[in-house]
């Protein structure tokens, strides 16, 4: 009789433990967009087992020009990565989007290539509503406490911000934005009612990452995501490199960043 009671107690304890675990997991998911960046590491471990990883190749340092990146990447055989996750079924449109990334220790080098049915750029100045145009984006954190969003429309106009969450963003100054060299195959003037292919390259110096005061990118581990959007295009869409598991479109969720390592 004693043995039976002991077995029953063990079974009840196990059931209670399992129920607590699943309830706790559900609670963390429900509160994900409210958690500080550090707390979201817990959600990473619980539910982001399919996190993408990426090795950022180091290339020889030189006086980079964004207009030369595509040719240089071809020579260096820098691989493309697809921005192809359609995370929200109500926005099924999926343009063809890919990116390449490298670094030289002092600069992050990015090249995007896009083909889509509606190309529009209304924002003709930096720090405007870039996300409403045909836009590509790069979000990155180096410390799991704050992250940077660097967004660029198809004519090379930039928006960059810093902070720990969506509600605490601070724009990077115009002076620092001017340090980012950019090149667009479409030129730099507002346009609309176009379709087809376009290409964008960025040279992002490490002094843009003002919260971290980086000396070099060599050997750094970081987390990042890459996006394609167009909130005010004829067919709005929200694509990501690393998948996002939320009910509504939201790119400001570091718990869904992938892992990147700089050589």
Q: pLDDT averaged over the chain? A: 87
- Spelled out in words, what is the top-level CATH class assigned to the domain 51-262? mainly beta
Class of residue 230 by CB neighbours under 10 A (exposed 0-12, middle 13-18, buried 19+): buried
Q: What is the pLDDT of residues 69-128, one digit of tens each?
A: 999 999 999 999 999 999 999 999 999 999 999 999 999 999 999 999 999 999 999 999
What is the reported pTM?
A: 0.82
Helix (H) or strand (E) holding 240: strand 238-240
pLDDT for 225:
98
Local confidence band at 62 (pLDDT 50, 70, 90 cut-offs)? confident
pLDDT at 61: 80
Q: Provide the residue ranges of all domains of the chain, joining segments of one domain with +.
A: 51-262
Integer angstrom CA distances of residue 105 from 56, 63, 134, 206, 219 = 11, 13, 30, 9, 9
**What average pLDDT does the segment 131-158 reach?**
97
Residues 188-219 pLDDT 10s: 999 999 999 999 999 999 999 999 989 999 99
């Amino acid at each position: 009789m004693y043995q039976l009671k002991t077995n029953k107690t063990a079974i009840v304890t196990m059931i209670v433990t399992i129920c607590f675990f699943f309830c706790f997991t559900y609670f963390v998911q429900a509160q994900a967009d409210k958690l500080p960046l550090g707390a979201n590491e817990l959600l990473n471990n619980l539910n982001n087992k399919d996190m993408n990883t990426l090795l950022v190749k180091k290339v020889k340092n030189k006086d980079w020009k964004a207009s030369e990146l595509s040719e240089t990447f071809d020579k260096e055989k820098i691989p493309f990565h697809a921005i192809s996750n359609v995370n929200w079924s109500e926005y099924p449109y999926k343009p063809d989007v890919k990116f390449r990334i490298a670094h030289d220790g002092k600069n992050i080098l990015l090249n995007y290539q896009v083909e889509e049915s509606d190309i529009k750029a209304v924002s003709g100045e930096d720090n405007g509503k870039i996300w409403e145009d045909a836009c590509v984006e790069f979000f990155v954190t180096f410390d799991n406490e704050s992250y940077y969003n660097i967004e660029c429309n198809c004519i090379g106009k930039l928006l960059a911000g810093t902070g720990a969450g969506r509600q605490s963003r601070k724009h990077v100054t115009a002076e620092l934005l001017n340090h980012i060299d950019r090149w667009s195959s479409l030129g730099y003037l507002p346009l609309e009612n176009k379709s087809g292919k376009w290409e964008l390259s960025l040279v992002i110096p490490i002094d843009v990452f003002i919260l971290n005061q980086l000396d070099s990118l060599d050997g750094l581990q970081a987390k990042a995501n890459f996006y394609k959007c167009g909130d005010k295009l004829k067919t709005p869409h929200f694509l990501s490199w690393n998948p996002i598991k939320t009910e509504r479109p939201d790119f400001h969720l570091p718990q869904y960043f992938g892992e990147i390592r700089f050589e």
